[in-house]
Amino acid sequence: MNKDAEPKAQTLPAGVMLNAYPDSIGKNLADTVAFLKRPELKDAFSLFYILPTFFNSDLDRGFSIIDYDINEELVSPRDLLELNELGIQIKLDLVLNHLSVRSPQFVDLLLNGNASPYRDFFIDWNEFWKNHGSMGENDHVIPDEEHLEKLFMRKPGLPILKIRFPDNSLHTYWNTFYQKVAFDEITAQDFAHIKGMDLHAASNIAHHIKVIIRDKGQLESADMEDIVQCNGGVSKDEVIAAVCHKREFLGQMDLNARSELVWEFYDETLRKLSECGAKIIRLDAFAYLHKEPGQPNFFNRPGTWDYLQRLRGIAEKYQLTIFPEIHAEYGAGIHEEISQQGYPIYDFFFPGLVINALERGTNEALLRWISDIHCKGMQTINMLGSHDGIPVLDLKGKQVNGVYRPGLLEDEQIDATVESIIERGGLTKNLYDADGKKIDYYQVNATFFSALGEDEQKLRLARAIQMFMPGVPQVWYLDLFAGTNDYAAAQRGRTAGHKEINRTTLKLIDIESGLKRPIVLDQLQLIRLRNTSAAFKGEMKVIESEPWLLH
């Protein structure tokens, strides 16, 4: 990539953006379209970010994609036509880093093994780290310490999932994000076909395996050594193969962007999204896509830039604006790098800054960030709440090339902000090192209204600040209705865990009653002003004022 060339900036459309799942309001997207047609919503929204249960998916509330066909249980072509008739442009996701284990590509790999055309569509962990680590006792390569310490982890332990090909060979694949492995009931009968296995030994093995699975949740090759030795030395491989037939797993498998098949898949997918009426594409988890031994597995340079440039070229074929989604510390400066390359960015700093400003009664950090956006010409999409919690890590400083670059807030202020949200019922999500030790907060899961202590005046003020911020304001449907923490949903958890605290489905009766509440109508008035007033096409000016005021 030519770093000296001045990249042409992509331009975001103007207006206010609604953000919801297809079934966040009522039962399906048709109910949300009906909501947007109501007189109370007239002229409120010009854009709609529809989260990826729009597609066929199985985990992480849509972010584990099976395929990019429309999920017909929730979405119909008629819904998309009606949104277009309302003048509402659509934003959709392309989940760059991974696909579901139930995707056609991964299913083909499981069925055909080495003969599958998708053999290299996903990242074979052992092949990737060959010559950069040593084989461990559980049949996967452990990267050398110099590489291991650079890995950025989203969960405890190594990011791997082991599968068996039809020839019974074991293969380890890269799995940065979610996985779940479960076993059907294992009985002595499962081992009856193994040569030299009598009923007593089969019962013994079945019992010990069930205990290991109960205690560890998984079964490794090393676990089997003692078991088979104590039961007549029967074939370990045959026992493992029998157990694997009883195994089911879910997961988000990392794509191998070195494979041209993956790039053909991206091209096909962007075409599909364009045909659905999308104009803006959020690149989910893009920073994890480029992987190379010796570099961190997060926002490698220049590889990440090369990938983005290639994706942008594909997107332009279909008249799409792409923007990368990334969580990183303010001090790292990654948001500036992305903006300088002509991409819009998500303003993940804004939610925490607003809470901090309202709690401390000072505009200092918020004004600093507004000045950054304005002076550096950044295009942003901002939000208060979202499907993904309230970011915390993003506000921090960072050591870069031996020099500490300060964050937007001091660590003590960040901790105080986190604690205030937790005291009001928020739940935390953390980051881990390769040994499974917590290294930092990642985000706090709460509704924005609950994070503000369920104070309606604070919510009004937060929304007003957002509507006058530079950038495209994105409005989480539940914030609009002053939604409170849903603890029952968080406990049920599904695959999204704590995030469900802020994803309550609003029934149509909730919409009817909500649209009579002043807090909802007042927000809609602010949103309508931002969406329609010609003033927001002009130049923004921030007037110097007292610390407790914002002009």
Amino acid letter for position 418: V
The torsion angles phi and psi of 507, rounded to 5 degrees, stand at -75, 165
Q: Indicate left, alpha or beta for 410 from its phi (over 0: left) and psi (-120 to 50: alpha).
A: beta
In the set 23, 254, 325, 394, the catalytic residue is: 325
Catalytic residue flag (residue 248): no
Q: What is the 3-state secondary structure (H, E, C) of 75-122?
A: CCHHHHHHHHHCCCEEEEEEECCEEECCCHHHHHHHHHHHHCCCCCCE
Q: Which helix (H) or strand (E) holds 316?
A: helix 303-317
**Max Cα-Cα span within the chain:** 85
How many CB atoms lie under 10 A from the CB of residue 343?
Answer: 21
> Tokens for 114?
């080495």
CA distance 89 to 82: 11
**DSSP-assigned states of every residue in 359-373:** HHT--HHHHHHHHHH
User: In DSSP terms, which residues pair with 254 in a beta bridge?
Assistant: 98
Burial (CB count <10 Å: 0-12, 13-18, 19+), residue 149: exposed
Nearest one of 19, 18, 21, 20 to 73, comparing CA atoms: 21
Is 67 an annotated catalytic residue?
no
> For residues 95 and 63, is the Cβ–Cβ distance under 8 A?
yes
Q: According to the 3-state scheme, what is the secondary structure of 499-526?
A: HHHHCCCECHHHHHHHCCCHHHHHHHHH
Q: Structure tokens of 378?
A: 């950044």
Backbone angles phi, psi at 390, to 5 degrees: -100, 115
* CB count in 10 Å sphere of residue 193: 10
Comparing CA positions, the residue from 374, 371, 339, 376 lying closest to residue 538 is 374
Q: Pick the catalytic residue: 93, 284, 388, 479?
A: 284
Q: CA nearest 44: which of 481, 531, 535?
A: 531
Q: Which run of H or of E encompasses 201? A: helix 199-216
Helix or strand holding residue 534 (H, E): none
In degrees, to the nearest 5, what angle opens at C-alpha 437 toward C-alphas 497 and 209? 70
CA distance 142 to 135: 6
Mapped onto helix, strand or coil, the DSSP state of residue 295 is coil
Question: Which H helix or E strand runs over 346?
Answer: strand 345-347
Helix (H, G, I), strand (E, B) or coil at 298: coil
Backbone φ and ψ of 250, nearest 5°: -125, 155
Structure tokens at 188: 């002595």
DSSP designation for 41: G
Q: Provide the total of helices (H) and of strands (E) in the chain, helices listed first.
A: 20, 22
Please give the positions annotated as active site. 284, 325
